[in-house]
Chain A
Amino acid sequence: MDIQEVIKEQVTTHPVVLYMKGTPQFPQCGFSATAAQILKVCGVKPFSVNILEDAAMRQGIKDFANWPTIPQLYIRGQFVGGCDIMKEMYQSGELQKLLEGLAE
């Protein structure tokens, strides 16, 4: 399957998907760590994809959303943003609203 199709399937199959460097338990970049932490505080367990494990995915995810940086958050199939946007949306309460009903 084409990497773009793989990503499309991931973001539509799982309600919350976080593409990051490392894993929520062992993030390998400060920004990915922050993104994972924000979701944790929101009580949401994302389907997380470690892009460091797959070179095709690492490039593919940047093309998918026309977004050159990691992490990337998708909620219900929609690209929400990277770490800066997640922080802003968490502080304003928008992120919690988007995640309503998805907490464990």
Chain B
Amino acid sequence: MVYPEDIKNHIAQGMVCTHLQVDGDGRHFQALVVSAEFAGLSRVQRHQRVYAVLGAQMRDELVHAFSMTTLTPEEWQVKNG
């Protein structure tokens, strides 16, 4: 069983985030990751960055589904403007 908090801690330890939110039921998760590191990266590269941080956490038998939104602080501000 993986808790949303575990995933959140993993991401927080691997990269600098200005906003980080992870929800889930133990098998299905949704994450909102806001980080300046995403600037200049494509969507695929942003997701790959988060997946790289999560590493073995993403194993099939642990996590069935992982949905994420990846934004830079500027994009996040526009979205919440």
Contact = CB atoms under 8 A, between A and B. Distances in A.
Interface in A59-90: 66-69, 79-85, 88-89
Interface of B: 43-44, 47-48, 51-52, 54, 58-60, 64-69
Contacts of A66: 48, 51-52
B69 A84 contact: yes
Of the listed residues A68, A79, A81, A84, the one surrounded by the most CB atoms of chain B closer than 10 A to its CB is A68
A81 B43 contact: yes
Contact of B47 (A30, A58, A67): A67
Given A67-B51, A68-B51, A68-B58, A85 B44 contact: yes
Contact of B67 (A67, A81, A83): A83
Nearest to A69: B66
B60 to A, nearest CB: 8
